[in-house]
Structure 1
Amino acid sequence: MVDTFLRLEDVKRATGLGRSTIYVLMAETPPRFPRPVKINGGRAIAWLGSEISAWQKARIAERDGA
Structure 2
Amino acid sequence: MGFQLTMRHKRLIRLPEVIAMTGLSRSTIYSHMSQGSFPKQFKIGARIAVWRESDILSWIETMEQQ
Q: TM-score, normalization: structure 1?
A: 0.83
CA RMSD in angstroms, aligned pairs only: 1.1
Larger RCO, structures 1/2 (Cα 8 Å, 6+ apart): 2
Q: How does 1:9-48 map to 2 (within 5 A)?
A: 9-28=16-35, 31-40=36-45, 42-48=46-52
Gaps of 5+ in 2: 1-5
Q: Deviations over 1:35-63 (max 9, x none)?
A: 011112x421000000000000000111x
4+ residue runs over 6 A deviation = none
The structure with the largest helix share of the pair is 2
Aligned residues: 59
- Percent of aligned pairs sharing the same letter: 36
